[in-house]
Amino acid sequence: MTSLPLVFDAPARARKPPRHLADLSPAERRAAAAELGQPAYRATQLATHYFGRLTDDPAAMTDLPAASREALVAGLLPDLLSVVRHAEADGGATRKTLWRGFDGALVESVLMRYPDRVTMCVSSQAGCGMACPFCATGQGGLTRNLSTAEIVEQVVAGARHLRAEGGRVSNVVFMGMGEPLANYSRVVAAVRRLTDPVPDGLGLSQRSVVVSTVGLVPAIHKLAAEGLQVTLAVSLHAPDDELRDTLVPINTRYKVAEVVDAARAYARTTGRRVSIEYALIRDVNDQPFRARLLGELLRTRLGTSRAHVNLIPLNPTPGSEWDASPRPAQDEFVSILRASGVSTTVRDTRGRDIAGACGQLAAKE
């Protein structure tokens, strides 16, 4: 007797996180409330509690009849993420949270307080499939996509924490675990939930949201057409294909020129300056000739008015032989870029001592 080859076997279906209010558009929420045997307007009341008052506690929802509260909360505000632990750094200004999903998947978010803003750095996937060799998350591979609500909940949790001290989240960066544009529809829906006004969403400004990508060219074009005002960050890390093929392996599919052209299309469509991320790695990508190449590339292909370079001193990951560039090399890189007319800043690296800095978000569990 012959058996079917394994390749025809249906893949084991990963279970999905439970449905949550934040996964749904306002119209879908009303339909969901009706399915739960509730008047549709209860969906708006519930959304006001979640997005406006940051609460999912039925006891606090005194404008809802007690019987409706239980049904609505059970059906639309399930617990999605539970805290495994928090860690603080920078004198309490930086706070990293390790979360566990319904299926045990681990993700991290980081809250960073600055004098003029508070930024939440969120994960879009558990793990990441992009395999960049200098990034801790890239070493473990992809576990799964996060749902829209799992992404939003990281920000809501940060907002709840800040409310106790009278603060609020002003900025969100998709620079935690995962490649946001590889989880496209959920990430775009999360951006809408974060930026739609209360009670439809959290009411953040689109301009204070940054979506960071390795450079998935078709998805960049798609994002440009969404009519959003979010900032696109492109993780370039090398101006030449030969080196970028090794630092950002998806470059073997989407080359430097294509990625920069997509960034240009994004900038033209949205009117937003694109942020070019470049982790400075000692003796790997920090040579003066690469600074000149990068300046030339951005000047000619993107346009200096559409580009801002964000240099990130590499945060060495455990077991890697790579290190950050020495200060003099960094300074020279900055001056060469600026001399070519490209606006350039060096990012401060928060949370180094709690492994909460860029690229170090990898759960040790």
Catalytic residue ranges: 108, 358
Q: What's the one-letter identity of residue 33?
A: A
Quick one: which of 207, 219, 225, 239 has its CA closest to 179? Answer: 219
Cβ pair 32, 71 in contact under 8 A: no
The answer to whether the CB of 305 falls within 8 A of the CB of 342 is: no
Does residue number 108 form part of the binding site for ligand SAH (CB under 6 A)?
no
- Judged by CB under 6 A, which stretch of 12-20, 47-55, 65-73, 311-319 contacts ligand SAH? 311-319
Instruction: State which residue has the least CB distance to ligand SAH.
Output: 359
Report the SS3 class of residue 118. Answer: strand
Applying CB under 6 A, which part among 55-63, 126-134, 162-170, 249-257 lies near ligand SAH? 126-134
Contact between residue 89 and residue 195 where contact means Cβ atoms under 8 Å apart: no
* Contact call for residues 274 and 307 (beta carbons, < 8 A): yes
Q: Does 314 bind ligand SAH (CB under 6 A)?
A: yes
Site string for ligand SAH, 262-301 (x = CB under 6 A): ---------------x-x----------------------
Question: Is 311 a residue that touches ligand SAH (CB under 6 A)?
Answer: no
SS (H, E, C) 312-360: EECCCCCCCCCCECCHHHHHHHHHHHHHCCCEEEECCCCCHHHCCCCCC
Q: Is 94 in the site for ligand SAH (CB under 6 A)?
A: no
Select 148 or 213, whichever has its Cβ closest to ligand SAH: 213
Number of residues that make up the chain: 365
Is 109 one of the binding residues for ligand SAH (CB under 6 A)? no
Site string for ligand SAH, 133-172 (x = CB under 6 A): -xx-------------------------------------
Identify any residues that bridge with 308 across adjacent strands, giving them in sequence order.
275, 343
State whether residue 145 is helix, strand or coil: strand
235 is a contact residue toward ligand SAH (CB under 6 A): yes
Contact 63, 51 (CB under 8 A): no
Which residue has tokens 């549709």? 40
**Interacting stretch for ligand SAH, rule CB under 6 A, among 41-49, 131-139, 142-150, 268-276?**
131-139
- Which of 150, 179, 196, 286 is in the footprint of ligand SAH by CB under 6 A? 179
Does position 112 interact with ligand SAH (CB under 6 A)? The reply is no
Contacts (CB under 6 A) with ligand SAH, residues 320-359 = 358-359
Please identify, using beta-carbon distances, which residue of 90 and 200 lies nearer to ligand SAH: 90
- Interaction between residue 61 and ligand SAH (CB under 6 A): no
Phi first, then psi: give them for residue 28, nearest 5 degrees: -65, -35
From candidates 68, 212, 285, 344, binder to ligand SAH by CB under 6 A: 212
228 binds ligand SAH (CB under 6 A): no
Q: At 64, phi and psi to the nearest 5?
A: -110, 140
Strands 307-313 and 274-280: parallel
Contact between residue 257 and residue 301 where contact means Cβ atoms under 8 Å apart: yes
89 binds ligand SAH (CB under 6 A): no
Of 107, 293, 312, 362, which lies in the binding site for ligand SAH, with binding defined by CB under 6 A? 312
Q: Please say whether the beta carbons of 235 and 311 come within 8 A.
A: no
Backbone φ and ψ of 92, nearest 5°: 95, -5
Residues that bind ligand SAH (CB under 6 A): 130, 132, 134-135, 175, 179, 212-214, 235, 277, 279, 312, 314-315, 317, 358-359
